[in-house]
Amino acid sequence: MWKRSELKSQARTVLQGRYWSAFLICLIVAGIESAGTALTSFIPFAPLAVTLLVMPPLIVGQARWFSRGREAAAVPAFDQLFSLFRGGSWGPTVGAMLWMYLFLFLWSLIAVLPMAVLVPLLVVARVFQRSPDRPWTEFVALDRVGVVLIVVGIFLVFLLAIPAVIKMYSYRMVPWILADNPKIGYDRALKLSMALTRGQRWDIFVLDLSFLGWFLLGVLACGVGVLFVMPYYWAVYAELYARLRRSGVERGLCTMEELGFIPASHRPV
């Protein structure tokens, strides 16, 4: 079992003397993502290409940098951020992350189904109810039944969004698993993440909520302040993953060798 206070305390300790290096890592990732969006006017599909082909290895590389940062006394090299673009790691990393995004997208579709069904039904019903001599303003206005249906639809959206949120937290460790072993395979990465987070998802959700105030302050500071929170946020998640990984090894869910670590007895002298 882990405590938020312990994760945050350890993260602050790890960031001592390397906060600005961590900040630069987060700044580079945010800058590349923003650059992809800015290219829309020149290259129509640039944001999509950056999102699908560039950002997944960067996100995993960012996780690797923070994970290695807590495991070594020295500050990790900056090229750790781009390490998933070489050594045959790019394809498996992109593939695993895209599978994760696809599954999350499909789960999110469940949440929008009520409104996708109710809104067209309301429109069709209003069209058939409208008389030719009545103004269109009456067509737009909802009657009592329409209001009730909309309220019910919104309630169902929030209710059906819960499974999607649960899945999102089930897959939260996927980038960190890939950071350890990008060639572990998408199926194994997803299943291992679900196993590591089982029974922990509510606590991870509360952990995210504990950062809400920091992120709101960052947004109030013209949005730039969020960048100053990100090193702390990622360092805390590096601590969380380390604890979940250790627990997984102890419970026989995985081995350190599967995650790319070399046993001490097999290391070259």
| Residues spanned by the domain of 24 | 4-256
In a domain, 53, yes or no: yes
In a domain, 269, yes or no: no
Q: pLDDT in tens for each of the 269 residues of the chain?
A: 799 999 999 999 999 999 999 999 999 999 999 888 887 777 878 888 899 999 999 999 999 999 999 998 899 999 999 999 998 999 999 999 999 999 999 999 988 887 777 777 766 666 655 555 555 455 545 566 667 777 888 888 888 899 999 999 999 999 999 999 999 999 999 999 999 999 999 999 999 999 999 999 888 887 788 999 999 999 999 999 999 999 999 999 999 999 988 765 554 44
- On whether the CB atoms of residues 189 and 174 are closer than 8 A, the answer is yes
Using CA atoms, how far apart are residues 172 and 136, in angstroms rounded to an integer? 48
In a domain, 264, yes or no: no
**Encoded amino acid at 71, one letter:** E
* End-to-end alpha carbon distance in the chain: 36
Question: Structurally, how many domains does the chain consist of?
Answer: 1
In a domain, 267, yes or no: no
Q: What are the C-alpha distances in Å from 25 to residues 19, 241, 262?
A: 10, 19, 27
46: burial class by Cβ within 10 Å (0-12, 13-18, 19+)? Answer: middle
Task: Please name which of 146, 189, 249 lies closest in space to residue 56, comparing C-alpha atoms.
Answer: 189
In a domain, 202, yes or no: yes
In a domain, 210, yes or no: yes
